[in-house]
Amino acid sequence: MKKGLIHGSLTLIVVGLIIVLMIPSWIEDRTNVVLRDETWPVSSRTQAFHDNLRIADLHADTMLWNRDFLTRGNIGHVDLPRLQSGGVVLQVMSAVTKSPADQNYVRNSSTARDMITALSIAQLWPPRTWDSLLERALYQAERLHTYARRSEDLWVITSAQGLSDFLTLHQPGHVATLLATEGAHPLEGDLDNLRKLWDAGYRMLGLHHFFDNRLGGSLHGESGEGLSEFGRQAVERAVQMGFIIDLAHSSPAVVDEVLALSPKPAVISHTGVQGTCDSPRNLQDKQLKRIAEKGGLIGIGYWDAVCDITPAGVARSIHYAVNLAGVEHVALGSDYDGATTVSFDTADLAVLTQALLDSGLSEAQVRRVMGENQLAFLQQHLP
Ligand SMILES: [Zn+2]
């Protein structure tokens, strides 16, 4: 009788453990998808050109997911071995800390049930992350720093000097990362938390995600408002400290106000363009143009913000942005691992190089968009 009870409890614990360990990858497998129903050939000439590029991507949400970043995975879009295969030298790692249930591009409530709470519990993150957006951001930074301590190939860049050292010492397979927030709600209404994010290594501050926050209106929120007083103070202090401001997901009013307020250029880390994809996810061309006119960067994504997610479709949006904003202002902003469906992961980036050349961009233009613009911008604007 007693033996049966122990046996029963053990079975229950083992089954429970298996479920807890499997749920996160089960979720991710359905959330960060690569459609592999077509292949796109890359010529040997393009592959050789691609292998000599310095590729840099302004946005991936990989630290949200528990899988081992140092091991090549078969789910999701990004890990260190796949960055190495794709020839990526710099990847911005963005921290998602809150996502509304029924997330959509048009209208989300800031009080909608938050999906990241459930995900942080399901992934057995430390309890301090379960009810604090700041702790979720700090924890994702800790995860990246831990990976960097475990691998000599992985760097976390926090300064222009650090980036310059990295590029000087660069060997094939070395990958730099830069920490960014996807929305500044981890400030939790307290400007002093900017310092905590800074000390954790964050250098790019995305102001918004899918909902209005204390800084102002989201592109997909309810108010459409510009910056709040707190938002103005946060942007001013962040710029003073040396943060790069990311306007992806911010309302048009916030974009205009930040561009008027800040003496420094801003980026829009991941977006599409209305000229090739008329989606409420995308800012109007005139705003993208203004970001470029102030010396900023526009990172074009690979998911449904470009409507056609084939390499040729992504290339069409990039080519449009080049014509709109000037080649020196266009960059990659994959949104890999951001609950997105794409047609190639980061290991397969040569298919994008091929598509860009096929679209009629010159090798010099492709070199800039694939990474040189991003590296030059960061060299100039990191502290
Ligand atoms: Zn995003």
31 CA distance to ligand 1 middle (Å): 14
45 CA distance to ligand 1 middle (Å): 34
55 CA distance to ligand 1 middle (Å): 20
270 CA distance to ligand 1 middle (Å): 7
Q: What is the pLDDT along the chain (383 residues), one digit of tens a residue?
A: 567 777 777 777 777 777 677 888 888 888 999 998 888 999 999 999 999 999 999 999 999 999 999 999 999 999 999 999 999 999 999 999 999 999 999 899 999 999 999 999 999 999 999 999 999 999 999 999 999 999 999 999 999 999 999 999 999 999 999 999 999 999 999 999 999 999 999 999 999 999 999 999 999 999 999 999 999 999 999 999 999 999 999 999 999 999 999 999 999 999 999 999 999 999 899 999 999 999 999 999 999 999 999 999 999 999 999 999 999 999 999 999 999 999 999 999 999 999 999 999 999 999 999 999 999 999 999 99
Q: pTM here?
A: 0.95
3 CA distance to ligand 1 middle (Å): 53
Contacts for 153 with CB less than 8 Å, ≥ 6 apart: 80, 84, 173, 174, 175
340 CA distance to ligand 1 middle (Å): 9
299 CA distance to ligand 1 middle (Å): 11
262 CA distance to ligand 1 middle (Å): 22
Residue 23 lies in a domain: no
221 CA distance to ligand 1 middle (Å): 13
Using CA atoms, how far apart are residues 259 and 280, in angstroms rounded to an integer? Answer: 21
Residue 20 lies in a domain: no
Residue 123 lies in a domain: yes
**pLDDT at residue 6 in the model:** 76
Residue 7 lies in a domain: no
43 CA distance to ligand 1 middle (Å): 32
211 CA distance to ligand 1 middle (Å): 11
**pLDDT at residue 138 in the model:** 98
182 CA distance to ligand 1 middle (Å): 7
138 CA distance to ligand 1 middle (Å): 18
CATH number at residue 228: 3.20.20.140
Residue 77 lies in a domain: yes
Count structural domains, the chain: 1
Containing structural domain, residue 271: 32-381
